[in-house]
Every structure is written in C-alpha cells, then in structure tokens.
Amino acid sequence: MAVFQRFQRLQTVQLAARWLKPQTCNKAVHKTVTETADRRGHDAAPTRRPFSRVTTEDIGFFSELLPGRTVTDPDVLEACNVDWLKSVKGSSEVLLRPQTTEEVSRILRYCNERNLAISPQGGNTGLVGGSVPVFDEIILSTALMNKILAFDGLSGILTCQAGCVLENLSQYVEERDFVMPLDLGAKGSCHIGGNVSTNAGGLRLLRYGSLRGTVLGLKVVLADGRILDCLAKLRKDNTGYDMKQLFIGSEGTLGVITAVSILCPRKPKSVNVALLGCSSFQNLLETFQICRGMLGEILSAFEFLDASCMSLVEKHLKLINPITESPFYIVIETAGSNSAHDEEKLHSFLEKVMASSLVADGTVATDDAKIKALWSIRERITEALRHDGYTYKYDISLPLEKIYDLVTDMRAHLGNRARNIVGYGHVGDGNLHLNVTSPAKDAALLAAIEPYVYEWTQKWRGSVSAEHGLGLKKRNYIYYSKSPEAVRLMKDFKTMLDPKGILNPYKTLPDDGC
Amino acid sequence: MAVFQRFQRLQTVQLAARWLKPQTCNKAVHKTVTETADRRGHDAAPTRRPFSRVTTEDIGFFSELLPGRTVTDPDVLEACNVDWLKSVKGSSEVLLRPQTTEEVSRILRYCNERNLAISPQGGNTGLVGGSVPVFDEIILSTALMNKILAFDGLSGILTCQAGCVLENLSQYVEERDFVMPLDLGAKGSCHIGGNVSTNAGGLRLLRYGSLRGTVLGLKVVLADGRILDCLAKLRKDNTGYDMKQLFIGSEGTLGVITAVSILCPRKPKSVNVALLGCSSFQNLLETFQICRGMLGEILSAFEFLDASCMSLVEKHLKLINPITESPFYIVIETAGSNSAHDEEKLHSFLEKVMASSLVADGTVATDDAKIKALWSIRERITEALRHDGYTYKYDISLPLEKIYDLVTDMRAHLGNRARNIVGYGHVGDGNLHLNVTSPAKDAALLAAIEPYVYEWTQKWRGSVSAEHGLGLKKRNYIYYSKSPEAVRLMKDFKTMLDPKGILNPYKTLPDDGC
C-alpha cells in the first residue's frame, strides 16, 4: 500500500471559498459594459426587429397583474440587463417577476397580442449572452417561482417550479438521501428552469446522463399564453411524441418553462476525489481508459485541466496545487454504495497508473472539506479566467483523442497575441473548454481566433457548443455543427410555436431568418 | 454465510430455448388473421384515407429503383402484413427493401408526390399494431439496411444503419468490451431503428437510462424525401434544438430513421442474477428499497412477475421454477467491474432481506448458462401468454406503490370472465405489464377491461403506454395520459412534417384529426 500513503498528502489543500455568486438583479452598477445594441464590427448587434415598445398602458397592465412584482427601478434593471461575464448588455425597462404558471400565461398572452418581445431569465449565469435582453425586451424572471411542489422518496422524482436554485434543490434532496442528477459551478445561482432550457451538462453527466433522460416532465407556457402541461412524474411514458424534449435546450425561444419534474439518483454513501498529474495528454487518455475499466460503475467524474489553468487559479484565487507541477491534471470522483469497495477499487487503479508511469503524482480526498478543496481547483477556473482579463470562451465537443489538439494548435496559431490560452473540461464527455484571455477586448485577436476555431471543430465533426448553448454570441456559428436542413427545420418549429418571434429574439437561431 | 449456501441451488434451473423468432417476412401463412379493415365493433378499423392506390407504373418505378428488392410475392407479403401477435393484418401489395438512405429518400419523395401511404417496418416485433399496414400502405422494410458504419472503441459510440438486429449489435459491441444500452426479449428480431422509433425501454433502462439519453444521433428521411442528417457522434451538442428527439418514439409517423449513433456502456466484468420469492407485493417494494441502497451502482435490473406468470411459463414452456412457490418473484441483476465486490454486496443484501423475512426463498446464478435460464423465466412470459390464448395486453406506468393494485383490482373487476389475469414488469421503472387472457377473442371481456383499465390509470396519473407506444391499437386512448393541448401540438408537428399524412397513417395520433 505504498501508493495509498503517497496519496494522503492532503494537508496542503486549502478549503476554497464558494463559487462567487453572480451579481444578478441586485443594485450593482454595470455602467462600464457597452450596450449590445451599440456594438460594431465582428460582434455587432443584430438589427432590432419591429416589436412594439413598452408603453405606460403596458406597465399599468403588468402592475395590476403583478402588484409589487413589476419592476421599473433603473438600478435593479441595470443589473438584470447585463450578463454574468459582463460581456453583453440590454436596455430593458421592465422586469416582471411572476409566481405562477398562470401569471406567466397571462403575461405571454398579453405580450403576444401587443407584439412585445420577452427575454426569459433564470439565474442569469449563462455564458453565451442568452439570458439578457439585446434591446428593450421585457425581462421575465423566474426568481419568484421557487417552490418545491413534490418529492417522492420511493422513486426519487422531484417536482418543482422553474425558479428553484440548483443548490437549494441539491440540499433538499440530499437531506432525503438523494442527489440532483446535475451539478455545475454556477449551482449557487442558476435556476433549474434555466438548466433545463439550456440543457446544462456539468460535472455529473458522465455518471447520470443528460437532462434529456433525467427530466421526466415539464410545464411550459407557449408564446401565445397556452399552457402545455407535460409535468408527468413517470419514468416511462410512450404515449405519443415527447413534446417536452423540444423545450429542453431551446434556450427559451420556443416557450417558457415554469415547472420541472426530474429523476434524482440515490445519494452515494461514499465519495472519493483524486487529483492526479500527467506528463502528456496521451498519458491522460490512457489513464481514462484504465479508469473506466477499473472504476467502472463508481466513476462519477473524470475532468481535466492543463498547467495554465492551474497557474491561473493559483495566481488569481490563491488556491494551492497540492501535487507536483504537471502539464496536465485530472480530477477523478468516485461515488458508490460501499466505501471499503470504492477505496479498494480506487487504490488498485492508482497503483496501476502510478506503476505504469501514466500518472506522475496525485492526492486523494475522502472527507467533505478536502473534497471541496480539490473540486474548487476545477470548478473555479471560470472565475480565475475572469480575473485574468477579457476572455474569449469556446465550449467544444470533439472526438476524444482530438480534444487537446485544438488547444495546442490554437497556441501555435495565435503565438503571443493572447495573454493565456488554456484548456480544461470534461474528458468523459469529449468536451473541451478552450479559453483565450487578453488584457482587453481585442478585435484583431478575435479575428484570429474566429472562424479558425469553428473551422477546426467542423473539420473533426465536433460541436461548436457542447453545453453552453448558442444564445446571442454563437447563434451565427450554428452551421459549423448543424446541416442547413436541420436549421431550416428549427426555423419551421420556431415559426409554428412563436409566429411573431417574441420569445428570446436574436438568440439560438441564426440571423438569416426568424 | 448460511444464506450464501442457500442461494446455490441452481442445478434445478434448465437452460431455456432462445426467444422464438417472430415469423416476419417469411413464407408463413397467416390466413387465419382477420384483416384489420374488416374489423367491426370495439376495435373497428379507421376509415381508409384517400391515398392513391399503387399502380403498375408505381411498381415499375420501384422496380427500377430497387431491382430485386421490390417484392410483390403474395406469400412474402402475407407474412409482412401481419403483426407478431397475429392481432392485426393489412393488405399491402408491395414491400420495398432499400439499402441506403438515398434510396429511402427517393422512395418517399415519389410516394409523397403520388400521395401513396407508407408503413415503415423494422423487425415487426411491436405489440400495438404499429409495424404493419392497416390497409394497402406500401411496406418499407429496413431489413437490408443492416450495416455497422463505425465503432469508436475509446468513447463506445456505435454508428449503424437502422435495420441492424439488436442482438447482432450486442454481439458486435460485446466482442469489443462494450454492451448495448438496451436489451429486450425481442432482441433476436427487432431492429435498432424500430427500437429508436418506438423509444423501446426494456431490461436495462434502470441502469443505463432511456434512448433519449443514449441515442446521440440519427439520420432521418422526412415525408417529402428530405434527408435530415443529425448523425452526430458526440456525447454533447447544444447547437440549437435537438431535432432527433422528435423522431425517437414517434413510431415512424414523422420520418423514417435510416441510421443511428448510440452510446454503449462498458461491458461489466461481473454479472449476477438472483431469483427471489416474496410473500406480498409490499414486501417486494421494501426489498426494492433495500436493494437500491445496498446494491446501489451495480444494480442493473429489478424485475418482477407474479405467481400466475410463473405458472404460465411452467405450463406452456416447461420452464422450471427453481425456488419455493411464492405469490411474487423478483429477478435482480447486478453488473459491475469487480466480481468479489459485487458478490459481497449481493450476499449482504440477501442476508438482510432473508433475515427480515422480506424474501422467503431465492437462488443466485453467476455463470452464463444459469443466468440465461433465470432470465428466460422473465423474458419468455410474453411467449407463454401467447400459448395461453387470446391476450389483451396493457403496458402501464404508475406511481410505484400502485403498480400491483391494478392487477388485484382487475381480478376483482373481471371475476371469472378471463382465463388468466397476470402482472409482471419493471419495478425499477414503475412499469407494469398487465395481461388478460381468454380462450378466444371476446368482445364482452374487452368491454369489461376497457376503458376501465385506462380510467384507473388516468386516476393515478399514470401512462397508458409506458414503453410499447400507441401504434394502431392504443391511438385513441392517448387522452387518458396526454392533455388535449399536447395532442393538438402533436398534430401540428405531424401536419408540418408530413402534410399529406403518408407516413404510418392511422397510428399514434388519435382519429379525431390528422
């Protein structure tokens, strides 16, 4: 058990602060962010479509429907108009905070009749400019739709309103011996409705699969106010087309999700996290293969970061790397029902990868605080990047063996034009987060990155948005991953469900239509 | 380890014959089945819609497009016109056997222009009359589209044509150390395209989730011949609406699936199967709860059958029940990466449920032949029922604690009007297969069962088709599980994608439209 001792060096790991809550809908001022509408050049805003402008009569209607929950205070609106990355900014003058599906229905029916555009907003933690208005769209917040409606302790099926914060749901089901099937860095702020609308992936997808399998039911309000009740609480239902799938991942452009039922797995009795160092990406991939074979059913995450990511979290967040410096780091999590079995599997695996020199160094955590500390290195990379400067973010799916080649190629391609070029992500899902930072917004740098990065991805038949969605920022790159036929069909669906195009306009669909 | 010995009594279990292959598309004669079009009364056929009739010019076109694969031989057609249960029969005069997506595209474009209706057919193993024509629809078989296109041994992603037989795919990936994420009794005949079109559930859903999560990509031909290529081989892709979901489970009414990419899990290194006897359904449910806690991540199936099912497989198939007679039987499967750990978990669990008298008797199998023998008791119930007489089949999802109440209530409700009333199914998924047999078709019996069974299901917000789909037989019961709003939207999708309604008419959608 020499390896076992070697992996017990956890005293050096510091407990990380929680993910910093995005400052959404508070009185923080974001005057420095240029309004999206005023943008020129490569990321110019689309043209405002001929929606009606909000009148005092409209405000009167909303105030009567939602007394005290129709917000026109410019300070509050300022915060809700800006995304978490402070990269886009709308100019909405009304924020609506409904509490029920019926209220959402009345709002949408009214807006559809009046031809008023709507920007649905959950926790506003999206990374592609999908959760804030582009112009003066009315912001429809799910924040007050935050009730848990039911939980079945036998089946693990949770039913709740769309505005429940993911972390609150996690806590609720964990107290009942279950876990949420998804987990992501933004859990302290993001809403389950937003997670479903964007088909959020995150850290547990490897183990529990995507929301397309775990979401069992939805209640959705359509553009004209019709309520579509597909809030089934059944694991199986093959009675006709699965309508709810259309609303998963359509980013609020086809309907507003107001309630969700979701299947929660049993809470594991034993969790272990290991941080390992690898000398090459090839070694990392071989480690992954061995890991899947030896850890099998208890493997719940296999994440990676490169040395540049580690430097950034050390530099900007003062986190400490508890192991020897390496070109690549792996975060492995196991979750199982028997701690002795899990530890034995993990140690056999570690012995094997250390003996074969695939892994150069590593450390294991089994208690909660140390587990959080190790996870924070991986989870807080986004935050560290924000401190590093203006960040160009790419969220790419590729065939597994190709995922790091894109980072290497991008470094060669950009040379010293960027401040940092880093790669991290979900190895198990073939999902790379490529990030490029620069001291400030840099049109020349952007022109060097795009469309190069998208062409590269297309060449390997990857996805230009693995889990972040398209939102405003990526909408026009859809053709790099989708056929014209598929996009045409998307537009047909949009036209059918939202003929006036009032729901989250300028998002997801490319500008060449809709 | 007294329990351990007690569970080694496997010498009494006989190896079962393979699932009998349905006699599809061979020269078997099914003259005894009444044509669906001639049906009267409760299960009367819908009215034939004004599609064109196939002419000699049409046959000429098809023969040129598919030389030697345009079949008009009445004997072959006879078999393809009848479903596996011999419960419905069409009168198609043409069977087309394309080999490529392009051929399917040309067929559909032609049929759409000519207003000719199409009945897509895979392995013809469906149970709701969805896979055979109702009138003279052209049968479009996927049988010759049976090529494996690619397999990625790193990610486990398999890409193949729609007509590949599930068992062949299983064998192919198992040789490469993976398994298919679905398994069902009809695996020797059913096609993967048919599985996806019907969103097949089966025996592994508890562990690997539904096809909505594991199917990564599809190639689909739309009604007008357009090819929709969504054959991504990526675990994650959030670039726009997930169009492929609409074709999963829509039973060939929105498009014809021609290729599939699917994520295969690693092949487990250790598999154990246990057959247990319980004295009550309440004990069975408590056993399930304990099982999920103690077997956790290695639990891959938790199936049940009642004493009547056991009697039927004993009587009609001469299978032998290796344990003491009980009112209820459970088939538990574990699949894991470490046989010592798995056996330890299983034995701890068995000790606990035996000690607490939740389980009265049981036996465990670890080698392949004995595992197959135990599984065959569960898998061959459908076949035994077919020997028992005319079978009324119901495939119901309910809240878990309610699933057997429906069987008990049905027995009280029907009294001695039925020959047998049996219940079995997937406890882990809340899915009951309720079957009622009688010496022959019996209109009075049917009238006593329906709509009683559907009203009962609706009362508990269940699904009237958990995994079998709606097909022809259940189409008009959709409102027991779906809201009028959802059905209206289904019709909108149908109209948009197949305005002439040529694809699998009279199926899935209720008669009150489309």
DSSP string across A157-192: EEEEETT-BHHHHHHHHHTTTB--S---GGGGT-BH
Tell whether A297 and A235 lie within a shared domain.
no
The answer to whether the CB atoms of A233 and B461 lie below 8 A apart is yes
DSSP string across B216-273: EEEEEE-TTS-EEEE----S---SS--THHHHTTSTTSS-EEEEEEEEPPBPPSEEEE
Classified as helix, coil or strand, B432 is strand
Angle at Cα A244 formed by Cα A224 and Cα A113, nearest 5°? 5
Residue from A403, A408, A291, A387 nearest A347 by CA:
A291
Three-state DSSP string of B295-348: HHHHEEEEEEEEHHHHHHHHHHHCCCCCCCCCCEEEEEEEEECCHHHHHHHHHH
- A149 touches B: beta carbon within 8 Å: no
Tell whether A276 and A372 lie within a shared domain.
yes
The per-residue pLDDT for range A316-354, each reduced to its tens digit, is 999 999 999 999 999 999 999 999 999 999 999 999 999
Tell whether A309 and A256 lie within a shared domain.
no
Classified as helix, coil or strand, B177 is coil
- B226 touches A: beta carbon within 8 Å: yes
Neighbours of A415 (CB within 10 A): 9
As a residue count, chain B comes to 514
* Helices (runs of H) and strands (runs of E) counted in chain A: 18, 16
pLDDT > 50? residue A70: yes
Which of A238, A266, A429 minimises the CB distance to B469? A238
Per-residue pLDDT at B513: 52
User: Which residues in chain B are contacts of A212 at CB distance < 8 A?
Assistant: 212-213, 242, 245
Tell whether B258 and B292 lie within a shared domain.
no
Q: Is residue B463, in this structure, part of any structural domain at all?
A: no
The per-residue pLDDT for range A455-480, each reduced to its tens digit, is 999 999 999 999 999 999 999 999 99
Tell whether B330 and B245 lie within a shared domain.
no
Tell whether B190 and B256 lie within a shared domain.
yes
pLDDT > 70? residue B307: yes
Q: Among residues A350, A365, A381, which one ends one of the domains?
A: A381
ipTM value for the complex: 0.92
**Minimum Cα–Cα distance from B232: chain A residue:** A461
The answer to whether the CB atoms of B240 and A466 lie below 8 A apart is no
pLDDT > 80? residue B22: no
Average pLDDT over residues B127-154: 97
- A234 touches B: beta carbon within 8 Å: yes
pLDDT > 80? residue A304: yes
**Minimum Cα–Cα distance from B334: chain A residue:** A297
The per-residue pLDDT for range B435-469, each reduced to its tens digit, is 999 999 999 999 999 999 999 999 999 999 999 99
CB A469 within 8 A of CB A198: yes
Distances (CA, A) of A271 to A332, A409, B490: 10, 36, 43
Tell whether B274 and B358 lie within a shared domain.
yes
Residue from B142, B83, B84 nearest B118 by CA:
B142
Give the CATH number for residue A203.
Answer: 3.30.465.10
Tell whether B105 and B161 lie within a shared domain.
no
C-alpha A232/C-alpha B412 separation (Å) is: 28
- Domain of residue A298 covers 268-381
Report residue B185's pLDDT band, with 50, 70 and 90 as the boundaries.
Answer: confident
Q: Is residue A329, in this structure, part of any structural domain at all?
A: yes
Per-residue pLDDT at A42: 65
- A512 touches B: beta carbon within 8 Å: no
Give the CATH number for residue B135.
Answer: 3.30.43.10
Quick one: CA dihedral B87, B92, B93, B94, positive or negative? negative
Which of A250, A297, A426 minimises the CB distance to B241? A250
C-alpha B406/C-alpha B281 separation (Å) is: 12
Q: Is residue B217, in this structure, part of any structural domain at all?
A: yes
**Which of A405-409, B30-34, B89-93, B462-466 has the least mean pLDDT?**
B30-34
Residue from A447, A448, A449, A474 nearest A463 by CA:
A474
C-alpha B67/C-alpha B70 separation (Å) is: 6
pLDDT > 60? residue A6: no
The per-residue pLDDT for range B191-230, each reduced to its tens digit, is 999 999 999 998 889 999 999 999 999 999 999 999 999 9
The answer to whether the CB atoms of B297 and A335 lie below 8 A apart is yes
Q: Is residue B43, in this structure, part of any structural domain at all?
A: yes
Q: Among residues A209, A229, A263, which one ends one of the domains?
A: A263
User: Which residues in chain A are contacts of B336 at CB distance < 8 A?
Assistant: 296-297
Distances (CA, A) of B241 to A198, A255, B199, B244: 10, 12, 19, 9
Tell whether A280 and A179 lie within a shared domain.
no
The CA-based diameter of chain A, rounded to the nearest angstrom, is 75
Average pLDDT over residues A139-154: 97
List of E strands, A347-389 = 361-365
C-alpha B180/C-alpha B170 separation (Å) is: 5
Q: Is residue B115, in this structure, part of any structural domain at all?
A: yes
pLDDT > 50? residue B17: no
User: Which residues in chain A are contacts of B184 at CB distance < 8 A?
Assistant: none
- A289 touches B: beta carbon within 8 Å: yes
Classified as helix, coil or strand, A70 is strand
- B243 touches A: beta carbon within 8 Å: yes
Per-residue pLDDT at A38: 84
Q: Among residues A263, A296, A330, which one ends one of the domains?
A: A263
Cβ–Cβ pairs < 8 A, chains A and B: 274
If one compares A437 and B3, the residue with the highest pLDDT of the two is A437
Report residue A513's pLDDT band, with 50, 70 and 90 as the boundaries.
Answer: low
The encoded tokens of residue B279 equal 């004295």
The answer to whether the CB atoms of A461 and B233 lie below 8 A apart is yes
Report residue A20's pLDDT band, with 50, 70 and 90 as the boundaries.
Answer: very low
Shortest Cα distance, chain A CAs vs residue B508, angstroms = 6
The per-residue pLDDT for range A185-215, each reduced to its tens digit, is 899 999 999 999 999 998 889 999 999 999 9
Tell whether B101 and B171 lie within a shared domain.
no
The answer to whether the CB atoms of A490 and B243 lie below 8 A apart is yes
Q: What is the CA radius of gyration of chain A?
A: 23
User: Which residues in chain A are contacts of B229 at CB distance < 8 A?
Assistant: 483, 485-486
The per-residue pLDDT for range A71-96, each reduced to its tens digit, is 999 999 999 999 998 889 999 999 99
Distances (CA, A) of A190 to A166, A201, A438: 6, 13, 27
The per-residue pLDDT for range A42-64, each reduced to its tens digit, is 677 899 999 999 999 999 999 99
Tell whether A254 and A287 lie within a shared domain.
no
Q: Is residue A75, in this structure, part of any structural domain at all?
A: no
The encoded tokens of residue A99 equal 């509490």
**Minimum Cα–Cα distance from B491: chain A residue:** A241
Per-residue pLDDT at A30: 52
The encoded tokens of residue A505 equal 């306009």
Total domains present in chain A: 2
Give the CATH number for residue A364.
Answer: 3.30.70.2190
The answer to whether the CB atoms of B198 and A268 lie below 8 A apart is no
Three-state DSSP string of B361-418: EEEEECCHHHHHHHHHHHHCHHHHHHHHCEEEEEEEECCHHHCCHHHHHHHHHHHHHC
Per-residue pLDDT at B12: 31
Shortest Cα distance, chain B CAs vs residue A34, angstroms = 26
Quick one: CA dihedral B162, B165, B167, B168, positive or negative? negative
Q: Is residue B277, in this structure, part of any structural domain at all?
A: yes
pLDDT > 50? residue B16: no
Q: Is residue A466, in this structure, part of any structural domain at all?
A: no
A 179-218 residues with CB below 8 A of B? 198-199, 201, 205, 209-210, 212-214
Tell whether B155 and B137 lie within a shared domain.
no
The encoded tokens of residue B148 equal 């494996």
C-alpha A198/C-alpha A141 separation (Å) is: 15
The per-residue pLDDT for range B95-138, each reduced to its tens digit, is 999 999 999 999 999 999 999 999 999 999 999 999 999 999 99
C-alpha B496/C-alpha B503 separation (Å) is: 12
Per-residue pLDDT at B37: 86
Per-residue pLDDT at B514: 42
Which of B152, B240, B469 minimises the CB distance to A470? B240
Percent of chain A with pLDDT over 90: 87
Q: Which residue has the tokens 């960027």?
A: A418
The per-residue pLDDT for range A414-430, each reduced to its tens digit, is 999 999 999 999 998 99
- Residue type present at position A199: N
Shortest Cα distance, chain A CAs vs residue B229, angstroms = 7
B 330-349 residues with CB below 8 A of A? 335-338, 341, 344-345
C-alpha B253/C-alpha B493 separation (Å) is: 10
